[in-house]
């Protein structure tokens, strides 16, 4: 999807929040804000929103001099999710439809999409899990089940650290010998990179690949040629998180999006209400 | 007060809201937003926030080709407030402390600070009035009473249209032969200009002056020399609304501010909580 001008105030707010999360220096906050305002003034709105996220966080890494400022947060989120993993597995195992339950839990993991929530607790995640099952959902599980049976290669595009442990529950319900999981190629916010997939233990289950890009989504022409080929060759893509939706929603591909709709702009684009948990193919 | 970088996301949001309120053309929305982002990138943060408001609304008037795009809204708000005037007068007349009651009602009038509330109803204003009397307030009325008795010239700086009818209640409680009321020199948002003061019937009570500026506040060096002299010569200034606080809070003058604290940045600057109705001298 293209960037809406409604995304602009949100980018500005996010820039300031991230700058403050990452630095104690007002000069850094002001510097990054001015740079981003300058970039936004001339922004190509045909690019998807994660293009701006990439730009903001490159600038933040440059100005803070820290190549991976969210590393501690990612580690914390992975640990938190791993502590919950045994009880989550039990929820899936004892449920009527383990695939559907795992898909919903995977969306729940998206609550670990911090921004500033460095201090998320186990209890907060637990109540978020409880809420997920009563929230408005559109989970097109039978369609996914059919496509998974047919596909000889399935590419799962991960989203955030911590969340990737929740994704493991879903991946375990899939024909894992045919599954490849892709993570970001470089640190951006708390998006999962290779070491996060490994922290979630995914290397023992499936083949892992990096997409070669540091965008908080999947901007194909910014990804490595190896990843682009992997993407082209997949019979089925499962794209996790709103960033992957924003970057791939217009792509001609057998692709399912799995995410919580977090803002009104994406709600309008999908036709679902804000807050809905969705598992939906690209074209319904 | 200076502009905080926390004001920046708010300016961007306000720009988009105002552009949409004033024009149906997406090209205008995008154009004004890009221009303002460019200006904000290089903004002198030593200037007070209404300096940006002035810039945004000059740009909007230029791009919409409408020299007074809020004129209808202002007229509507004046009519609405005038309809309520008899019952407001009765509230003041029957109250224990008419000066204090009129000061609180004058702050209530600030609810007619639209932005997008072109569709404000009498009932909404009535419930806002009722709320005002139970909301947190800091009304330094005895101090104002003493200063009013001493002052041989009192300058009242008005804020918005509609609201100026509520201000009339307070002005009527003052020694009106010594009072001058100032309005903005040119249209900006729904700020009161001369015809709004006249719609409120103030020309029959007090001397009216224009400040010669189209800023949504009182940026002294942007005001006419005549107004600057009037301001310098006043023994006591009563400045209504947050815009006047933002522009005059650092001025060395015997000045009282009368407004509802509408954002966290101004709350921090004043030391009062956001949402508080205040009547306070410049230095407490």
Contacts of B45 in chain A (CB under 8 A): 30
Residue in A5, A13, A40 nearest the CB of B29: A5
Best of A5, A18, A42, A45 to substitute, by most chain B Cβ atoms within 10 angstroms, is A5
The bridge status of strand B255-260 relative to strand B277-281 is: antiparallel
The pLDDT of residue B116 is 41
Residue A280's CB is within 10 A of a number of other CB atoms, namely 21
Question: Would you call A195 an interface residue with chain B, using a CB distance cutoff of 8 Å?
Answer: no
Residues A207 and A225 in one domain: yes
The verdict on A212 and A100 lying in the same domain is yes
- Optimal mutation site among A2, A7, A8, A263, interface B, most CBs of chain B within 10 A: A8
Q: For B9, which of A16, A26, A34 is closest by C-beta distance?
A: A16
Using an 8 Å CB-CB cutoff, list chain B residues near A26: 5
Return the DSSP state at A267: H
- Which pLDDT tens digit goes with each residue over A175-233? 999 999 999 999 999 999 999 999 999 999 999 999 999 999 999 999 999 999 999 99
Torsion angle defined by CA atoms of residues A239, A241, A247 and A248, in that order, rounded to the nearest 10 degrees: 20
Q: Is residue B53 part of a domain?
A: yes
- Between the alpha carbon of residue B252 and those of residues B2, B236, B246, the distances in Å are 16, 11, 14
What is the reported pLDDT for A119?
Answer: 67
Structural domain boundaries, residue B191: 71-281
pLDDT above 90 for A130: no
Q: Which of A197, A189, A214, A177 is nearest to A82 (CA)?
A: A197
Query: In terms of domains, do A170 and A270 share one?
Result: yes
Q: Is position A171 within any domain? A: yes
Is residue A130 less than 8 Å (CB to CB) from chain B? no
Pairing of strands A277-281, A255-260: antiparallel
The two three-digit tokens of residue B51, written as one number: 């300096």
Q: Is B267 on the interface with A (CB under 8 A)?
A: no
Whether residue A116 has pLDDT greater than 70 = no
> Are the Cβ atoms of B30 and A45 closer than 8 angstroms?
yes
Q: What angle do CA B143, B148, B154 make, to 5 degrees?
A: 130
Q: Do A8 and B16 make contact, defined as CB atoms within 8 angstroms?
A: yes
CB contact under 8 Å between B37 and A34, yes or no, is no
Q: Does the beta-carbon distance from A42 to B30 stay under 8 Å? A: no
Measure B219 CA to nearest chain A CA, in Å. Answer: 24
Are B39 and B57 in a shared domain? yes
A245 and A263 share a domain?
yes
Q: Is B207 among the domain residues?
A: yes
Q: With helix as H, strand as E and coil as C, how does A99-144 read?
A: HHHHHHHHHHHHHHCCCCCCCCCHHHHHHHHHHHCCCCEEECHHHH
Write the CB contacts of A123 (distance below 8 Å, at least 6 apart in sequence).
none
* Chain center to CA of A250: 17
Report the percent of chain A where pLDDT is more than 70.
96
Task: Tell me if chain B has a CB within 8 Å of the CB of A16.
Answer: yes
For A54-113, the pLDDT digits (tens) are 999 999 999 889 999 999 989 999 999 999 999 999 999 999 999 999 999 999 988 766
Residues A260 and A243 placed together within one structural domain of the fold: yes
- Max CA pair span of chain B: 55
Q: What is the ipTM of this complex?
A: 0.88
A48: buried, middle or exposed (CB in 10 Å: 19+, 13-18, 0-12)? buried
Residue A115 has pLDDT above 80, yes or no: no
Partner A contacted by B9 (CB < 8 A): yes
The answer to whether residue A263 neighbours chain B at the CB level (below 8 Å) is no
Domain end, chosen from A36, A64, A92, is at: A64
Which pLDDT does position A113 carry in this prediction? 61
Chain A: nearest CA to B31, how far in angstroms? Answer: 9
φ, ψ (nearest 5 deg) of residue A258: -130, 105
Give the start-end residues of each E strand in chain A: 137-139, 154-157, 179-183, 207-210, 236-240, 255-260, 277-281
* Interchain CB distance below 8 Å, A37 and B37: yes
Tell me chain A's radius of gyration from C-alpha atoms. Answer: 18
**Which among A16, A31, A64 is the end of a domain?**
A64
Q: Tell me which H or E stretch contains B105.
A: helix B98-108
A223 belongs to a structural domain: yes
SS3 content of chain A, % helix, strand, coil (to 5): 55, 10, 35
User: A38 contacts in B (CB within 8 Å)?
Assistant: 37-38, 41
The CATH number for B126's domain is: 3.40.50.10880
- Nearest C-alpha in B relative to A19: B5
Chain A residues whose beta carbon lies within 8 Å of the beta carbon of residue B26: 5
A29 touches B at CB < 8 Å: yes
Among B64, B86, B111, residue at a domain's last position: B64
Q: How big is the A-B interface in CB pairs under 8 Å?
A: 47
Give the pLDDT score at B110.
82
Residue B43 maps to a domain: yes
Name the maximum alpha-carbon separation found in chain A: 55
∠ CA B14-B104-B195, rounded to 5° = 60
Residues A164 and A201 in one domain: yes
Q: Torsions phi, psi of A117, nearest 5? A: -80, 60
B50 and B76 co-located in one domain:
no
C-beta of residue B59 within 8 angstroms of C-beta of residue B189: no
pLDDT per position as a tens digit, A145-155: 999 999 999 99
Distances in Å between the Cα of A111 and the Cα atoms of A46, A117, A159, A218 are 28, 10, 11, 20
User: pLDDT digit string (tens) for A67-77?
Assistant: 999 999 899 99
A216 HSE (CA, 13 A, CB side): 20
Q: Which of A2, A12, A46 to probe the B interface (max B CBs under 10 A)? A: A12
Residue A46 shares a structural domain with residue A162: no
**A6: its two tokens:** 């409604």
Same domain, A51 and A183: no
Secondary structure letter of residue B110 according to DSSP: G
Claim to verify: residue B270 and residue B233 sit in the same structural domain: yes
Q: What pLDDT does residue B119 have?
A: 67
What pLDDT is attached to residue B168?
97
Q: Are residues B276 and B143 in the same domain?
A: yes
Contact with chain B for residue A17, Cβ under 8 A:
no
The DSSP result for B246-263, as a single string, is HHHTT--S-EEEEEE--S
Q: Which two tokens stand for residue B57?
A: 């609304």
Instruction: Give me the CATH number covering residue A59.
Output: 1.10.8
What is the pLDDT at residue B115? 42
How large is the average pLDDT for residues A110-132? 73
Domain membership of residue A174 (yes or no) is yes
Side-chain-side CA neighbours of B131 within 13 Å: the count stands at 15
Going by the DSSP 8-state scheme, the letter that residue A48 receives in this structure is: -
Q: Which residues of B touch A16 (CB under 8 A)?
A: 5-6, 8-9
CB < 8 Å from A in window 37-76 of B:
37-38, 40-42, 45
pLDDT in single tens digits along all 284 residues of chain B: 999 999 999 999 999 999 998 999 999 999 999 999 999 999 999 999 999 999 999 999 998 899 999 999 899 999 999 999 999 999 999 999 999 999 999 999 887 665 444 567 888 888 888 888 899 999 999 999 999 999 999 999 999 999 999 999 999 999 999 999 999 999 999 999 999 999 999 999 999 999 999 999 999 999 999 999 999 999 999 999 999 999 999 999 999 999 999 999 999 999 999 999 999 998 75
Instruction: Look at residue A238 and tell me whether its pLDDT is greater than 70.
Output: yes
How far out from the chain centre does Cα A82 lie?
A: 18
Total domains present in chain B: 2
Listing DSSP states for B213-243 in one string gives: --SSS--GGGS-HHHHHHHHH-SEEEEESHH
**A41 with B37: Cβ contact below 8 A:** yes
Could you tell me which chain B residue has the CA closest to the CA of A42?
B34
B263 touches chain A (CB under 8 A): no
H helix and E strand count, chain A: 12, 7
Taking CA atoms, what residue in A is nearest to B19?
Answer: A5
Rounding to the nearest 10 degrees, give the CA dihedral for residues B112, B116, B120, B125. -30
What DSSP state is assigned to residue B4? Answer: P
Instruction: Give the CA distances from residue A81 to residues A106, A217, B263, B266, in Å, rounded to whole numbers and listed in that order.
Output: 11, 22, 37, 40
pLDDT of residue B276: 95
Residue A1 forms part of a structural domain: no
Is A34 touching B (CB cutoff 8 A)? yes
Alpha-carbon distances of B141 from A151, B258, B279, rounded to whole Å? 77, 11, 7
A9 in B contact zone (CB under 8 Å): yes
Residues of B in contact with A5 (CB under 8 A): 16, 26, 29-30, 33
Cβ distance of B41 and A42 shorter than 8 Å: no
Contacts 24+ apart (CB under 8 A), A88-91: A88/A129, A88/A166, A88/A169, A89/A169, A91/A129
Q: What is the pLDDT of residue B123?
A: 84
Indicate whether B1 belongs to any domain. Answer: no
A50 within 8 A of A211, measured Cβ to Cβ:
no
């Amino acid at each position: 999807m293209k960037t809406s001008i409604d995304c602009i105030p949100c980018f500005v707010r996010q820039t300031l929040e991230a700058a403050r999360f990452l630095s104690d220096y007002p000069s850094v906050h002001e510097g990054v804000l001015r740079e981003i305002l300058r970039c936004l003034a001339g922004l190509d709105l045909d690019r998807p929103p994660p293009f701006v996220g990439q730009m903001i966080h490159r600038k933040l890494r440059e100005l803070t001099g820290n190549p991976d400022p969210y590393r501690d947060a990612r580690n914390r989120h992975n640990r938190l999710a791993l502590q919950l993993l045994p009880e989550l597995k039990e929820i899936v195992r004892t449920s009527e439809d383990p695939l559907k339950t795992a898909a919903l839990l995977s969306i729940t993991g998206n609550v670990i999409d911090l921004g500033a929530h460095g201090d998320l607790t186990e209890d907060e995640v637990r109540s978020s899990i409880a809420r997920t099952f009563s929230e408005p959902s559109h989970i097109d599980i039978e369609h996914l089940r059919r496509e998974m049976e047919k596909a000889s290669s399935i590419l799962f595009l991960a989203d955030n650290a911590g969340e990737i442990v929740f994704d493991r529950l879903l991946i375990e319900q899939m024909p894992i010998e045919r599954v490849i999981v892709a993570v970001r190629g470089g640190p951006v916010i708390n998006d999962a990179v290779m070491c996060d997939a490994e922290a979630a233990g995914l290397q023992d289950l499936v083949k892992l690949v990096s997409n070669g890009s540091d965008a908080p989504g999947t901007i194909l022409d910014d990804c490595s040629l190896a990843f682009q080929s992997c993407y082209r060759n997949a019979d089925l893509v499962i794209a996790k998180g709103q960033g992957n939706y924003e970057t791939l929603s217009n792509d001609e591909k057998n692709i399912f999006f799995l995410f919580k709709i977090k803002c009104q702009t994406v709600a309008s684009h999908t036709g679902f209400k804000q807050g809905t948990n969705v598992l939906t193919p690209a074209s319904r």
